[in-house]
Structure formats: C-alpha cells, structure tokens
Amino acid sequence: MKKKAGIYIHIPFCKRKCFYCHFATIPFDSQLVNEYLNSVKNELRMKSNSGYVIDSIYVGGGSPSLLEEAHYFSLMESISKYYQMASNPEISIECNPEDISNEKLKIFKNAGFNRLSIGTQSFIEEDLKYLQRGHSVNQSLKAVSIALEHLFSNLNVDFIIGLPTQNEKSLDLNYSHVERFNLPHVSCYLLENVLPAHSSEECQHKLYNFTRKRLGAFNHYEVSNFCKSGFECRHNLKYWKNQEYIGIGLSASGFQDHKDYKNDDDFTDYLKKTRQNILPVKEINSINPVSRKIVMGLRRLKGLPISSFHSYSKELAFLSDENLLIKVGNNIAVNPEKILLLNEILTYFV
C-alpha cells in the first residue's frame, strides 16, 4: 500500500532581504531562477519514489510569488511526471502582498494552486514601517480582497506579533480585518531572532495571550496557527503529525523512512551537486521515534495520546505537577496558558 506524503519546495529568491528574516534567501535574478529551477527539477527526479501518493505540495520561500507563469507550470509538470498525485491534493504557495495581481492569481489557479498564504505581517502602516516591508497596508488589503474574488477560499494571512510598535489595540484592528474578510486561516508568529530583543518577553506574552482570546472563534490548532473548521493546513499538519514529506530545494528539510534530512544551504553547493546528479543533502538524522513524535505532536493544542508518553512517565508526572502539561480527553497537551514555555518543555523529551 502506498504512503501519503507531502512535497515542500523552497524558492529562495527575494527582491530584498528583510532584516528579521532567518530563511535561506538570495537576491532575485531571472537567469539564476532558470538555473535553480532546473536543479529543483533534477532533485525532484532524483527523489522520485513510487511508494508515495502526494496529497500536499507547499511552495515556500523566499518569495515564490516572484516567479513567472512558465516556471509554475514546469514545476507542476515535473511533480506529476515523477510522483503519483492524490485525487485532491492541497497545493499551497507563499506570496508577498506586492506580487499579487489579477493576472498572477489567474496564473496560480491555472497552475493548480488551491491555497494561498499571504505575508501581510500587519495591517498597520507603523508596523510595516518598522519591519521595512516592501508593501503598504492598502496593497495587502487589495491582495487579500482580489484573492477572495478569484475564489481562493483556502487563504491564510501571516502576522508577526511582538513588534515594539504593537499593542492590544493595534492587534485588535488587525484581527478586525481578518473578521471582515471572513478569513479561514491566520498564522501569528512571535517575532524571533531579532537581537537585541525589541520587545520584552512579558509584552510578547501579553500580545500572544490577547491573540488567543481575540481569535476565540478560530480553532487554535498549533502554537502559531488558527483556523476555521476544516481549514487546517494539510501540509503543515504533516510536520506535527510525524508524517512523511519530501524536502526539495535550497535548505529544505524532509522526513522520509524515519529519517530527518536537511539540504545544503549554500546556493553554489546546491547547484553544483544537483547538476552532477548528487543529492544536495547536508545532514541526515535518525531521531528516536518516540521522542520525535512527542516533540512534534506537542505543538498541536490538542496534544497526543497519553500512550505516546510510556517511556517518559517521570517527565510527564513532573511537567503535569508543574501544570505545564494537562490532560485533554485521552490526550496530553501543553497547558495553553504556558505555551510560550514550549521550547523548555520539549527539552524534557529530547
């Protein structure tokens, strides 16, 4: 019997590098895009596996919305050439708001994308200025609005929370746009990797807890993700449910046959290896499967079955006494009030 799996494809090109961004990116260059996509297609071929049925594809970045029509079509063509597709796959693409136009949306539809994730970050001009974004609030609002007109009903917007320019009132305004558009999915990421910390931990907790309350009509299904019923991101759920996914492209990660791997993050090395038909894999790890299941599964607010903790009974007892882990039906989950301590909690299971 074939296994269901997802494919993540990393498109590293961006018009400019945002100071806060820790993803693998390189400056946009149309010549390099063609070379890179040839490498990606080569990698798709090298990793082809007849034991899989692909039911999710996630094209992330970087800024995949910068590509041209022919690029999207040839990527999709390669995937269906080398992999068996499920009958109704979820096919997502990450978009920068300034790249979205009526024409682009038609291209996305025709190429087969059925889920968009738009990097709006905030609908407040002051926040965008702080983040030095390349788009205005109006551009973001228009992007969301025309995406809905083009019937991309499976739509996510990204917010970054914990900015020094933010407070509960401005977040409230952000979320009122989510309500007005009746959006089915919102990702709210706490600002990470910006040193020195731009806003205190206490402030971050406050804004995060406000978000949880304000988005009470949504299912808070993962630390940073909120959705209306039936709109969980199928691809991202694979990460947290310990399911298999193939990672393609610069710095991409994958999980196949009980092994985690990470691709090269040096662009030259990546091109060189894939041109020579060598897998561009930088490291492979076999993580204890029980530990991996817990570490990934505790990111979900519903947690995971109590039986998953059989080899960690002492840790479970201690963390439950500390009120960090709680029982939710037959599952064990992180106490939602303590979710910002997740990374510390996870250290007990690695």
Region from 20-28, 108-116, 160-168, 227-235 binding ligand SF4, contact rule CB under 6 A: 20-28
Look at residues 144, 142, 139, 120 and name the one whose alpha carbon lies nearest to residue 131: 120
Which is closer to ligand SAM, CB of 20 or CB of 312?
20
Give the residue with the Cβ less far from ligand SAM, 29 or 257. 29
251 belongs to the binding site for ligand SF4 (CB under 6 A): no
Interacting residue with ligand SAM among 68, 126, 149, 192 (CB under 6 A): 192
Q: Check residue 312 for interaction with ligand SAM (CB under 6 A).
A: no
Among 21, 33, 146, 279, interactor with ligand SF4 by CB under 6 A: 21
Count of residues that interact with ligand SAM, criterion CB under 6 A = 18
Per rule CB under 6 A, is residue 96 in the interface with ligand SAM? yes
Smallest gap from residue 172 Cβ to ligand SF4 (A):
24
- The beta-carbon contacts of 329-336 under 8 Å, at least 24 apart in sequence, are 330/305, 330/306, 331/302, 331/303, 331/304, 331/305, 331/306, 332/303, 332/304, 332/305, 332/306, 332/308, 333/298, 333/300, 333/301, 333/302, 333/303, 333/304, 334/298, 334/301, 334/303, 336/212, 336/220, 336/301
3-state secondary structure 171-231: HHHHHHHHHHHCCCEEEEEECCCCCCCCCCHHHHHHHHHHHHHHCCCCEEEECCEEECCCC
Stretch that binds ligand SAM, among 16-24, 74-82, 263-271, 324-332 (CB under 6 A): 16-24
Return the one option of ligand SF4, ligand SAM, none that residue 17 interacts with (CB less than 5 to 8 A, by type): ligand SF4
- Restricted to residues 69-98, the positions that interact with ligand SF4 (CB under 6 A) are 96
- Examine residue 14 and tell whether it contacts ligand SF4 (CB under 6 A): yes
Binding track, positions 142-181, relative to ligand SAM; x by CB under 6 A: ----------------x-x---------------------
**Measuring CA to CA, which residue among 179, 187, 213 is closest to residue 115?**
187
CA distance 246 to 254: 5
> Of these partners, ligand SAM, ligand SF4, none, which one is at the site of residue 9 (CB under 5 to 8 Å by kind)?
none
Contact yes or no for 184/227 (Cβ under 8 A) = yes
Under the binding rule (CB under 6 A), the answer on residue 127 touching ligand SAM is no
Q: How far apart are CA 144 and CA 150, in angstroms?
A: 10
- Compare residues 18 and 341 and give the one whose CB is closer to ligand SF4: 18
Contact 143, 97 (CB under 8 A): yes
Site for ligand SAM in 17-76 (CB under 6 A): 20-23, 60-61, 63
Dihedral sign, Cα of residue 304, residue 306, residue 309, residue 312? positive
H or E stretch including 304? strand 304-305
Q: Given the structure tokens 């995406």, which residue do they identify?
A: 147
Shortest distance, CB of residue 256 to ligand SF4, whole angstroms? 25
Residue 81 burial (CB count, 10 A) = 11
Q: Which of 6, 97, 119, 303 binds ligand SF4 (CB under 6 A)?
A: 119
Q: Is 121 in the site for ligand SAM (CB under 6 A)?
A: yes
17 touches ligand SF4 by CB under 6 A: yes
Task: Give long-range contacts, CB 8 A cutoff, 24+ apart: 269-272.
Answer: 270/39, 271/35, 271/36, 271/39
Residue 25 binds what, of ligand SAM, ligand SF4, none (CB under 5 to 8 Å, by partner type)? Answer: ligand SF4
The residues binding ligand SF4 (CB under 6 A) are 14, 17-18, 21, 23, 25, 61-63, 96, 119
The residues binding ligand SAM (CB under 6 A) are 20-23, 60-61, 63, 94, 96, 119, 121, 158, 160, 189, 191-194
